[in-house]
Each structure stands twice: as structure tokens, then as C-alpha cells.
Amino acid sequence: MRKLLFSVLLVVGVLGLLGMAARPPLVGGPAPEITLKNLQGQEVRLSDLRGKIVLLNFWATWCKPCKDEMPAMQASYDKLRDRGFVVLAVNELEDTEKVIEHMRSHGHTFPVVMDHDNVVANRYGVVGLPASFIVDRQGIVREQIMGSLLTENRITELVNRYGGPAPSAHR
Amino acid sequence: MRVKHCIRPSAAGVGALAALVFLIGGAFEASASCGSASCFLVTGSEAGVQPKGKLVVDLRYMYVPSNAPDGGLSGRVAAVDQERRRVILDEHQEHRTITETTILDVNYGLTDRVTLELTVPYRKIKHSHVIEVGEANGGAGDFESFQDTGLGDVRLTGKYSVLPTLRSLLVFGLGVDLPTGDSHANNIERKLQEPTLQLGRRTWGTVASIYQSYEVIPHRLNQFASASYRHSFTGSNSYRFGDEYILTGGMNLKTLNVVTLTGQFNWRYIVHDEFAGDLRRSLFPGDAGFPGDPEVIDPVLKRRPVPNTGSTMLAFSPGVSIAVTERASVYFHAQVPIARDFNGGVQQEISFLGGLTMALN
């Protein structure tokens, strides 16, 4: 009887742990809303970018691979902005002043929002940096890229694949 | 294409870079009556949870001296005669043990949540004691200086991280100790040496652990705690090593870009070992028949706790980790006993541990 009880408790415990650890897959579903302040203290919502193709990038200044891929993000932002492409860089757990200084010294101009409480990263299941997500014009998550894989070519390819015709083409 | 990933740098700074490194409080070998022993602190590298496909290798060296409680020789302690199935009280006097262990530790991320770890120890045990007190050499016993070197018991561990975030971690581990170490070394009298002085335990074992970590100040100050429980099954020699409980709590402080300081408290409790044999007592001067064969107290072969095994110890362990490249770091820890009770056997002194951790991909 005791063995049976122990076995039941063990199974329930393991299933509970697995359940606790499970997160629904993001790719293919609507991107969880983001409401964070940018470096100027203004509130930015991901839903406000509906109609654009968004590269959502989670990063920190101490993360070298994050910094390594930022020039490609900046170049793509400059080159593809007219096609409705936008970068939204979500900084994790750092001081705003430090991030402002980093952006200034590296000459990056794409938008940055501050995830001071790690809430948005948790919502996206980010446990390592960098992590990137491609959100299409309908607000659907199309790609999830964990680790530093972003190059200018890769970003262009992703925009071509998921961007569809630029909004200007409809007009 | 090579994927680079940064995860929880404070924790990583303790043992490995560019990898999710948590420290499962794992002692390696435990002390026992004749006293081979080990550091039981958290180094940050012995149990990393890695992202999928990541391979991290750690090579470390532990130096653990143990001495009789007041230096010199200890009081008379019990011995286990495996061949004749005897637990003999007051048969030994301990002098000193030095346990050196070189450990190759390999962690591989099967998924982002599940990591497999292989731990391969290579052990060198040097032990000196007086044996057959009350019997040999006019009752004074024979001084023995024993040494053995070789592969210890290999451990295979699966680790599972629950709800990891950039800021906090909770990891469960379940390991199996394989009886790979030699357990047939002889003493100077060409009798099978005591189980506690063998390289391996001659039996399987299991280890369950839980590790928790939180970035108090991200990338600057990291808190961690762990608990582990180790159980060894009874070996074919009827000897069972006592269960071992370890609790650890500590902090990592990242100072310079490449330097992380760590401080931790470690508490370990080991239950008495057990052996199935009869019970005897070595003779003292004044006993009839001294010097001579130990006196039989209970001739029945049955499972008995082995006196002078088991221990309790609280220690503080300061350490430092230095990132030497983007993928490799070196670390060094000392373990300083604060309070200890080794039941009359040799007791662990200040111990040292150093190692190199390297991410291979």
C-alpha cells in the first residue's frame, strides 16, 4: 500500500514538474503583447507595430554575441525600413543610462525598450541571450532564433520570407 | 553554423562561460572510518545545465587531507574485516589520509532543459594507520602506510531545469553511481583492505539533487542554494556506505569583467555505514589473552552499523573564478571546516579544489 502511494506521488510529482516547466510554443501563434518604455521613457506597444514585420531581439550590453549581431541589425534596419521592417530591441535587466550610452557609442538607432523586470523575456520563454523572434505583419510569430545567428543576409531572407509585399505596394 | 549564447553570466562566471552553469551541490566521495574524503562544495562546473547541443568539459583536482582529531594517532576505532565478516571494535588507530581526486566532468545539453552529465574520477588515496591493535606486535599493532591509485566510481546524471528564466533557475538532478572503481586492494598483510579505503564502492548508488539560483543584481550578484541526497546500495561484500545529505548556500559576486568571487556555506551529514558480520572487540592490556585474537561479543552474522563511520561537518568555502578566454575559465576554491564531528575517525582539514572549464562548441 505504501509502495503504491509512493509510486502515485512520484508520478504526480513528475507530471507536475513537467507541467510547470511547459510553455506553449510561440511560433505560429500571436505574439504576446509587449508594453515597455523606450530609452526616452515613452511607452511602446508591440501591437502598435501591426502591419510591419518586426525583428524582436532580446539582448544585454554584457552579452558579447548580442553585441556582435547588432551591426547586422542596424544595417538591415537602415536598408529595409522602407519595406515595413522594424527592429525592436528588448534590453534585459539593465540600467537605462547604461543602455543609452551603449547605443550612442555604437551608433545604433533602432528602437530599444527596457525590460527591467524580466517579465517580457519570461513571457517569450527567453532563458539565454541573444534571442530573436520574427513577428509578421499580422502579429504572428514566424521564427524563433535562440543564440547569435543574425547576419544581414539572414535578416533579409527572413523579411523576404515572412514580410510579404511591403505596405506601400498595396497603396 | 556556430550559435553563441549568453546565459546567466553571474552563475556562469563561477565555472563556465557562454553556458548555463548551475551548481548542483554534489559531494563526490564521502568520508568514512578509515577516511577517504572529499570537498563537498559547489564549484559551478560539475553540474552545468547546457543549451541543446552544447558540450562543456571540466577538469578539476581536489586535495583533501584528513588527520586524527588531535594530530598523531587517534584513539582506537573499529575495523571491518571483509574476508572473515567481522566488525572489530577498537582494532585501529588512525593517523592520516590524503585523498587526491582528478575529475573529468562532461556536460551535454540533450535539449534546452535536459542535460546529461558524465563524471569520471581518478583517485589517489594515501592512508596511514595502526592495525591489529591488541593483537599484533605485542599488542601495539602494525603500522601500515597504504596507497592506491586508479579509476573511481563513474557517475551518470540527468538534470532537468524547471521554469528557467534569465534571472532564476531551478534544477532537479538524478544521478547513478556505477561500480567502476576497483574495490579489491589488499593491505600489508595481503588481506582485503577496508571498504572505506578502496577506490570504488563495489555497488550502485543514486544521487538526487535540487539546485536553485537567483540573480539578485543581474550580472553582478548571484545567490544559489542546493540540496542533495546520496544513497549507496549494499555491495556484494555486504557493506553499505551511509546515506549522505548535503546542503549548500552561497553567493557569487562578479567583480572585474573576468573575475567572479564566490563564498558558500556547506553542511554535510553522513549516516553510519553498515556491514553484515559478527561483532568482536580487540583486547586491551589487562584483558585475558592479551595480546591475541579479538574477543567475540556477538557471533551472529547480522547487519550492524560500523562505529566511527559517518560524520557531520559545516564548512565555509571561498573561491574565485577567472575567465581566461570567451570559452574557458579557471577556478580555485578552499574549503575551511567550521564545525565537524567525525565520530573519532580522521577528520577533514582545509581542502583545496582547482579546475578548468571549457565550452567545446
Q: Give B209's pLDDT tier (boundaries 50, 70, 90).
A: very high
Q: Is the pLDDT of residue A14 over 80?
A: no
Percent of chain B at pLDDT > 70 equals 87
Cα distances from B321 to residues A54, B56, B272, in angstroms, run 39, 16, 35
Please tell me which of the candidates B1, B162, B165 has its beta carbon nearest to residue A149. B1
For each of the domains in chain B, give its residue range(s) and CATH number, in order of start: 9-67+96-125+145-269+311-359 (2.40.160.40)
Choices 3.30.70.360, 3.40.50.300, 1.10.3720.10, 3.40.30.10: CATH for A28-165: 3.40.30.10
More reliable by pLDDT, B361 or B349: B349
Residues of B in contact with A66 (CB under 8 A): 6
Interface predicted TM-score (ipTM) of this complex, two decimals: 0.73
* Cα–Cα distance for residue pair A111/A88, rounded to 1 Å: 5
Residues of A in contact with B218 (CB under 8 A): 60, 92-94
Per-residue cell: B330? 579557471
More reliable by pLDDT, A150 or B351: B351
- Would an 8 Å CB–CB cutoff place A55 in contact with chain B? no
Q: Is the pLDDT of residue B190 over 70?
A: yes
The reported pLDDT for the residue numbered B28 is 34
Chain center to CA of A45: 13
The residue type of B302 is K
- Would an 8 Å CB–CB cutoff place A20 in contact with chain B? yes
Choice among A53-62, B11-20, B138-147, B257-266 with the minimum mean pLDDT = B11-20
Q: What is the mean pLDDT of residues A61-65?
A: 87
Cα distances from B82 to residues A3, B329, B346, in angstroms, run 33, 44, 21
Phi and psi dihedrals of B40, rounded to 5?
-130, 40
- C-alpha radius of gyration, chain A, whole number: 19
Residues A133-151 pLDDT 10s: 999 999 999 999 988 777 9
More reliable by pLDDT, A91 or A14: A91
CA-based nearest residue to B273, from B342, B326, B338, B323: B342
Q: Indicate left, alpha or beta for A7 from its phi (over 0: left) and psi (-120 to 50: alpha).
A: alpha
The residues that bridge with A99 in the sheet, in sequence order, are none
Q: Is the pLDDT of residue B255 over 50?
A: yes
Residues B51-77 pLDDT 10s: 888 899 999 999 999 999 888 888 899
Q: Give B11's pLDDT tier (boundaries 50, 70, 90).
A: very low
More reliable by pLDDT, B143 or B256: B143
Please tell me which of the candidates A20, A130, A147 has its beta carbon nearest to residue B163. A20
Q: Which of residues 234-263 of B touch A (CB under 8 A)?
A: none
* Cα–Cα distance for residue pair B172/B26, rounded to 1 Å: 12
Per-domain residue ranges for chain A? 28-165
User: Are A121 and B163 within 8 A, CB to CB?
Assistant: no
Inter-residue long-range contacts of A63-68, CB under 8 Å, 24+ positions, other chains counted: A63/A129, A63/A130, A63/B6, A63/B9, A64/B4, A64/B6, A64/B326, A65/A129, A65/A130, A65/A147, A65/A148, A65/B4, A65/B5, A65/B6, A65/B18, A66/A129, A66/A130, A66/A148, A66/B6, A67/A106, A68/A148, A68/B4
The reported pLDDT for the residue numbered B65 is 95
| Pairing, β B86-109 against β B274-281 | parallel
* Cα–Cα distance for residue pair B102/B98, rounded to 1 Å: 13
The reported pLDDT for the residue numbered B4 is 62
The reported pLDDT for the residue numbered B44 is 58
Q: Give B12's pLDDT tier (boundaries 50, 70, 90).
A: very low
